[in-house]
């Protein structure tokens, strides 16, 4: 890959060890002659990523999710360094970052492109999500009634606590906790998982990536919430429409050349099977 000559750092200073690690990695970049900029502000300052060859995010998955929109629009690859807990998106541990950062700067990495969901609740109410779009009652206290249409075909009228629409990347997040499927990140699909459905036969549905989904609020006298990646909220009322589709924009994630998706799953989800037993 191309060497990195201009690098933007986004640092979550609330994460233990993040400021110190950032200082070390920035010093490594300076020694390599890389032009750097850095911020600890959220949301990102306007235009912060413009012209950067890459963005190094030091924090947890939530920190990385906060830069998704800007990185996708500017087509800036993201290096995620985990100083949080689970870290599915921030694929470099602090130790891996220290060991491999100089190599990354010279181009020793690969790019994985990840699909984004485009969600609209009306004119001017629009956002992107890397993990998921969740629709639920605004105060989270009762069942909602949601009518889902895929293309021109009615899917179902759901009575549930909410609906999760997830990308393959986000399948390891809320979707997994709600009993939804794990999906390989390169699969071109959207998954929909009902949360605590009133009808127990309601289960996850996998849609092809070119489908346009429409969700109507059929809940009487209710204002619903649309949560984007668990961070940014849109709202809509009875009779209103939510439209969800795969965005033409993609997020570029920087990974090591030897990155293995299933190795990450085995580690993060504490699966008992490992490489040795698979060969066995």
User: For residue 33, is it within any domain?
Assistant: yes
Residues 105 and 122 grouped into a single domain: no
Residue 237 scores a pLDDT above 60: yes
For residues 208 and 234, which has the higher predicted lDDT (pLDDT)? 208
- Encode pLDDT of 94-124 as tens digits: 999 999 999 999 999 999 999 999 999 887 7
**Alpha-carbon span 120 to 214, nearest angstrom:** 10
pTM comes to 0.91
- Encode pLDDT of 240-255 as tens digits: 789 999 999 999 999 9
SS3 262: helix
The proportion of the chain whose per-residue pLDDT surpasses 70, expressed as a percent, equals 95
Residue 171 scores a pLDDT above 80: yes
Residues 11 and 131 grouped into a single domain: no
Residue 276 scores a pLDDT above 70: no
In sequence order, the β-bridge partners of residue 195 are 162
Residues 150 and 78 grouped into a single domain: no
Residues 263 and 236 grouped into a single domain: no
User: For residue 1, is it within any domain?
Assistant: no
Boundaries of domain holding 206: 118-248
Work out the mean pLDDT of the chain and round it to a whole number.
Answer: 92
- The number of folded domains in the chain is 2
User: For residue 79, is it within any domain?
Assistant: yes
DSSP letter string, 162-185 = EEEEE-SGGGGTHHHHTTPPP--T
* 148: nearest Cα among 137, 164, 172, 132: 164
**Alpha-carbon span 100 to 92, nearest angstrom:** 9
256: left (phi over 0), alpha (psi -120 to 50) or beta: beta
Compute CA 53 distance to the chain's CA centroid, rounded to the nearest angstrom. Answer: 21
Residues 87 and 123 grouped into a single domain: no
pLDDT at 220 (0 to 100): 81
The 8 Å CB, 24+ separation contacts for 53-56 are 53/2, 53/4, 53/5, 53/6, 53/7, 53/77, 54/4, 54/7, 54/8, 54/78, 54/79, 54/254, 55/7, 55/8, 55/9, 55/10, 55/79, 56/7, 56/8, 56/9, 56/10, 56/25, 56/81
Is 61 known to be catalytic? yes
Residue 273 scores a pLDDT above 70: no
- Encode pLDDT of 178-222 as tens digits: 999 999 999 999 999 999 998 888 899 999 999 999 999 998 877
User: For residue 78, is it within any domain?
Assistant: yes
- The CATH number of the domain where 77 resides is what? 3.40.50.10330
Residues 244 and 139 grouped into a single domain: yes
Q: Residues 61, 132, 161, 229: which is the catalytic one?
A: 61
- Encode pLDDT of 153-162 as tens digits: 999 999 999 9
């Amino acid at each position: 890959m191309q060497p990195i000559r201009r690098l933007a750092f986004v640092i979550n200073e609330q994460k233990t060890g993040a400021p110190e690690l950032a200082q070390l990695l920035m010093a490594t970049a300076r020694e390599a002659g890389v032009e750097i900029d850095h911020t600890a502000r959220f949301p990102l300052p306007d235009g912060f990523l413009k012209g950067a060859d890459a963005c190094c995010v030091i924090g947890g998955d939530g920190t990385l999710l906060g830069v998704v929109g800007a990185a996708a629009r500017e087509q800036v690859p993201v290096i995620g360094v985990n100083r949080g807990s689970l870290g599915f998106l921030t694929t470099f541990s602090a130790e891996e970052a220290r060991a491999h950062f100089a190599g990354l700067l010279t181009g020793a990495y690969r790019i994985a492109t990840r699909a984004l969901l485009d969600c609209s609740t009306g004119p001017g109410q629009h956002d992107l999500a890397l993990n998921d779009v969740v629709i639920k009652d605004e105060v989270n206290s009762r069942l909602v009634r949601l009518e889902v249409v895929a293309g021109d075909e009615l899917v179902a009228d759901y009575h549930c606590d909410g609906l999760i629409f997830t990308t393959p990347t986000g399948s390891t997040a809320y979707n997994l906790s709600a009993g939804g499927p794990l999906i390989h990140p390169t699969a071109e699909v959207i998954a929909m998982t009902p949360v605590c459905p009133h009808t127990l036969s309601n289960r996850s549905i996998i849609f092809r990536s070119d489908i346009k989904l429409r969700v109507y609020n059929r809940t009487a006298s209710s204002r619903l919430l649309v949560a984007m990646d668990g961070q940014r909220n849109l709202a809509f009322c009875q009779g209103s429409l939510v439209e969800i589709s795969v965005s033409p924009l993609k997020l570029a994630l920087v990974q090591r050349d030897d990155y293995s998706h299933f190795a990450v799953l085995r580690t993060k989800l504490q699966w008992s099977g490992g490489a040795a037993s698979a060969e066995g």
